[in-house]
Protein backbone atom coordinates (compact mmCIF):
# COMPACT_ATOMS: atom_id res chain seq x y z
CA UNK A 1 0.00 0.00 0.00
CA UNK A 2 1.27 3.36 -0.93
CA UNK A 3 0.34 6.39 1.07
CA UNK A 4 -0.27 9.80 -0.34
CA UNK A 5 1.99 12.53 0.88
CA UNK A 6 0.36 15.37 2.72
CA UNK A 7 0.74 18.68 1.01
CA UNK A 8 2.61 21.33 2.92
CA UNK A 9 -0.15 23.93 2.53
CA UNK A 10 -3.61 23.02 3.77
CA UNK A 11 -6.53 23.47 1.43
CA UNK A 12 -8.41 26.67 2.15
CA UNK A 13 -11.47 28.28 0.78
CA UNK A 14 -10.75 31.60 -0.74
CA UNK A 15 -12.96 34.50 0.15
CA UNK A 16 -12.97 35.93 -3.35
CA UNK A 17 -16.33 36.90 -4.73
CA UNK A 18 -17.34 34.63 -7.53
CA UNK A 19 -18.56 36.05 -10.75
CA UNK A 20 -22.19 35.15 -11.14
CA UNK A 21 -24.29 35.36 -14.23
CA UNK A 22 -26.86 38.13 -14.20
CA UNK A 23 -30.28 36.88 -13.21
CA UNK A 24 -33.02 37.08 -15.75
CA UNK A 25 -35.97 39.23 -14.88
CA UNK A 26 -39.11 37.17 -14.50
CA UNK A 27 -42.22 38.30 -16.24
CA UNK A 28 -45.32 38.03 -14.09
CA UNK A 29 -47.45 35.00 -14.85
CA UNK A 30 -50.43 35.69 -17.06
CA UNK A 31 -53.82 34.45 -16.10
CA UNK A 32 -54.65 31.76 -18.63
CA UNK A 33 -58.07 31.86 -20.15
CA UNK A 34 -59.85 28.57 -19.82
CA UNK A 35 -60.83 26.79 -23.00
CA UNK A 36 -63.99 25.35 -21.48
CA UNK A 37 -66.58 27.25 -19.46
CA UNK A 38 -68.10 26.19 -16.18
CA UNK A 39 -71.28 24.84 -17.78
CA UNK A 40 -69.25 22.73 -20.20
CA UNK A 41 -67.21 21.23 -17.38
CA UNK A 42 -70.40 20.39 -15.49
CA UNK A 43 -71.97 18.74 -18.54
CA UNK A 44 -68.89 16.61 -19.11
CA UNK A 45 -68.74 15.64 -15.43
CA UNK A 46 -72.42 14.66 -15.50
CA UNK A 47 -71.94 12.62 -18.69
CA UNK A 48 -68.93 10.80 -17.23
CA UNK A 49 -70.87 10.07 -14.05
CA UNK A 50 -73.77 8.64 -16.05
CA UNK A 51 -71.34 6.59 -18.15
CA UNK A 52 -69.88 5.17 -14.96
CA UNK A 53 -73.35 4.24 -13.72
CA UNK A 54 -74.10 2.81 -17.19
CA UNK A 55 -77.19 5.00 -17.67
CA UNK A 56 -75.81 7.25 -20.43
CA UNK A 57 -77.24 6.43 -23.84
CA UNK A 58 -76.20 7.62 -27.27
CA UNK A 59 -78.48 9.79 -29.37
CA UNK A 60 -80.08 7.93 -32.26
CA UNK A 61 -79.63 4.27 -31.45
CA UNK A 62 -80.17 4.58 -27.70
CA UNK A 63 -77.34 2.14 -26.98
CA UNK A 64 -75.46 2.37 -23.70
CA UNK A 65 -72.24 4.33 -23.88
CA UNK A 66 -69.24 2.36 -22.60
CA UNK A 67 -66.39 4.60 -23.77
CA UNK A 68 -65.12 7.53 -21.70
CA UNK A 69 -64.20 9.42 -24.87
CA UNK A 70 -67.73 9.07 -26.17
CA UNK A 71 -69.14 10.27 -22.82
CA UNK A 72 -66.92 13.37 -22.97
CA UNK A 73 -68.02 14.04 -26.55
CA UNK A 74 -71.68 13.79 -25.54
CA UNK A 75 -71.15 16.20 -22.63
CA UNK A 76 -69.39 18.73 -24.85
CA UNK A 77 -72.03 18.54 -27.55
CA UNK A 78 -74.75 19.16 -24.93
CA UNK A 79 -72.80 22.18 -23.66
CA UNK A 80 -72.44 23.48 -27.23
CA UNK A 81 -76.19 23.13 -27.77
CA UNK A 82 -76.84 25.20 -24.64
CA UNK A 83 -74.38 27.89 -25.74
CA UNK A 84 -71.56 27.10 -23.29
CA UNK A 85 -67.97 28.16 -23.82
CA UNK A 86 -66.57 25.20 -25.74
CA UNK A 87 -63.98 25.22 -28.56
CA UNK A 88 -65.17 24.27 -32.02
CA UNK A 89 -65.16 20.65 -33.09
CA UNK A 90 -61.98 19.35 -34.72
CA UNK A 91 -62.66 18.05 -38.19
Q: What 3-state class would DSSP assign to 64?
A: strand
| pLDDT at residue 74 is higher than 70 | yes
27 pLDDT higher than 70: yes
Q: How many domains does the chain have?
A: 1
> What's the domain range around 48?
38-81
Handedness of CA 78, 81, 86, 87 (dihedral sign): positive
Q: Is residue 63 part of a domain?
A: yes
Residue 69 confidence (pLDDT): 92
| 72 pLDDT higher than 70 | yes
Confidence label for 86 from pLDDT (cuts 50, 70 and 90): confident
Give mean pLDDT, residues 47-75: 89
Q: Which residues lie closer than 8 Å to 40 by C-beta, 6 or more apart?
A: 75, 76, 79, 84, 85, 86
Q: Which strand (E) or helix (H) includes residue 81?
A: helix 68-81
Instruction: Assess if residue 70 is contained within a domain.
Output: yes
Amino acid sequence: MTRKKKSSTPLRRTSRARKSTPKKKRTPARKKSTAYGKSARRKVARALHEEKLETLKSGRSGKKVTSRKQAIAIGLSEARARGGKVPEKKR
